[in-house]
Amino acid sequence: MSKSIRWLIGGACAILVGVVLRVTGVAGTVLAPLQEMVTNGTAVVCRWLDVGNYRQKYQQAQAELTALRRQVIDQEQAVHDAKWYREFLGLKEANAALVFCEAQVIAADTDSFTVNKGTLDGIDGGEPVITACGLVGVVKEAGLSWARVYALANKEVAVSIVSNRNRANGEMIGGVARFPRDSNVEEGERLITSGYGGTYPRGLIIGELGYCTLQSDGLYRSAAVKLYAKYEERVMVITAF
């Protein structure tokens, strides 16, 4: 007998058995218990898993994880704040007369920025503004709850300075330092406020002196200054010193 004939006979037998089972009702007898077993098994599995209970536990775990993350963020912020305030302690200890007003920077451009404190907080113009890295600018004008600060790189800002190595006195305008030609200042020297003029207290860090060149008039040596302080989210306005 050929292979194809055997396949045909086998298929016909299978069809015949199916017809007999349906006609005699045996198929129902065989399938019904199987369906019941599947239904009962599904119910048992659902009760065992208790999907609703596990969903609730999952949501609770998510909420606890979110709360823990928030605690970590709050702790990190507290550490950052403590470090930030600690940076000002040395300056405060060196000059007990300093009065600080903390402010948030709410807008900024290339050579000025605005903070969220103003005349209601004792700021009316001319106050030095610092960060933990040093002097960053001076208040130009103020409203009730805002103040505009000119950064040190602004060409309208002039600061009396002194070098930390040979104590040479000079002036910085718009981020460029100028010293008398006979002053022995060199590249890399740190500059601080001299305290002359009354606008800035003495000792505020400004930056580092760049390469010095003799000006065309032959009277002064000048150099660009690498300013240490940058715009930050928070600054301190010195309202009294």
Mark 108-118 as b/e (b = at least 16 C-beta within 10 Å): eeebbbbbebb
Concatenated DSSP letters for the chain? --HHHHHHHHHHHHHHHHHHHHHHTHHHHHHHHHHHHHHHHHHHHHHHHTHHHHHHHHHHHHHHHHHHHHHHHHHHHHHHHHHHHHTTHHHHHH-TT-EEEEEEEEEE-SSEEEES--GGGT--S--EEEETTEEEEEEEEE-SS-EEEEETTSTT-EEEEEETTT--EEEEETTEEEEETT----TT-EEEE--TTSSS-TT-EEEEE---EE-TTSSEEEEEEEE-----SEEEEEEE-
Selection from 44-48, 81-85, 177-181, 212-216 with the highest mean pLDDT: 177-181
**CA count, 13 A, side-chain hemisphere, 92:** 13
pTM above 0.75, yes or no: no
Q: What is the pLDDT of residues 116-133, one digit of tens each?
A: 999 999 999 999 999 988
Q: According to the model, what pLDDT value does residue 224 have?
A: 96
Q: What is the pLDDT of residues 152-198, one digit of tens each?
A: 999 999 999 999 888 899 999 999 999 999 888 989 999 999 999 88
